[in-house]
Amino acid sequence: MKMIKKYIQAKDIEYSLVNTPQITFEVTDACNLKCTYCGYGEFYSDYDTRENKILPVKKAMLLLNYLNNLWNSAQNTSLKKEVYISFYGGEPLMNMQFIRQVVDFVENELEQQVRKFSFSMTTNAILLHKYMDYLVKHDFNLLISLDGNRDNTAYRIDKNGNPAFDRIIRNVNLLKDIYPNYFLKKVNFNAVLHNKNSVEEIYTFFKSNYNKIPSVGELNNTGIRPEKQGEFNRAYRNSTESLYQSENYSEIEKNMALRS
Ligand code: SF4
């Protein structure tokens, strides 16, 4: 403890907090899908039990009020810096009440002179048709999770094992048709790589259908249940290997950010 105090002092923590570029709320651990490879799913042993809980909005207000005081204090060294307020899940659109209250608070109660706030969300898009007007109105940066075409997305299923692809695509296309400018500027895609897709298929799907360059992530290979290791190994694909198996890998490599 003494050693830590020697190197990290309260003012260092405050400095980091006051300059934080992003605040992410896990607004619920509930989800309306049950993807085979979900980090909270059957492959893994290293997560807390999912209890369909929602994050109380009071806790968010406490944090935001505390940060607002810091932002307005003498230690505020970076005026008008951008702060992303991000919503994550589970599926964040399953707790819209929380999101609406936080957005309202940020827009109307926080001091706008010292920080510029932007909103962002990662979503599976299943409820997008219900809430797109709101997300567009508040200029959310939207990251939609989708693994490519229908076959590529076969691991994205609901609790009854039904494929989610058609529902996701219907909503994505609805958003694109109703709000083309918003779609162009604020929507991006996030794909998971596995044995039912490849970097090339993912790239080609999003480039040709939406003129977007998606980000690609690998399956998390830590915390695997021993009895699921074989199944996991069959599903796992390495992104660099998959990239170099692409016909036009130099173009894809130049354009894409691969995440592991
Ligand atoms: S949408 Fe995300 S949180 Fe929900 S089951 Fe799929 S991977 Fe898990």
User: Does residue 2 sit in helix, strand or coil?
Assistant: helix
Write the pLDDT tens digit of every residue in 29-74. 999 999 999 988 889 987 777 788 899 999 999 999 999 988 887 6
Q: What is the mean pLDDT of residues 237-242?
A: 95
pLDDT given for residue 11 in this prediction: 84
The protein residue whose alpha carbon is closest to atom 8 in ligand 1 is 38
* The ligand 1 atom nearest the CA atom of 89: 3
Task: Name residues contacting ligand 1 (CB within 6 A).
Answer: 31, 33-35, 38, 40, 89-91, 124, 145
Residue 190: other Cβ atoms inside 10 A:
16
Give the pTM: 0.92
SS3 143: strand
How close is the Cα of 69 to the center of ligand 1, in Å? 35
Confidence band for 95, pLDDT divided at 50, 70 and 90: very high
Residues 215 and 259: beta-carbon distance below 8 Å: yes
How high is the pLDDT of residue 258?
A: 58
Q: What mean pLDDT do residues 173-194 have?
A: 98
- Torsion angle (degrees, nearest 10) of CA 168, 169, 171, 176: 140
Which atom of ligand 1 lies nearest, measured to the CA of 37? 7
- Report in angstroms the alpha-carbon separations of 96 from 31, 101, 189, 233: 13, 8, 21, 37
What pLDDT does 8 receive? 84
- Of 29, 91, 171, the residue with max ligand 1 atoms within 8 A of its CB, to mutate for a pocket test, comes to 91
Q: Kindly report, residue by residue over 151-166, the tens digit of the pLDDT.
A: 999 999 999 999 999 9
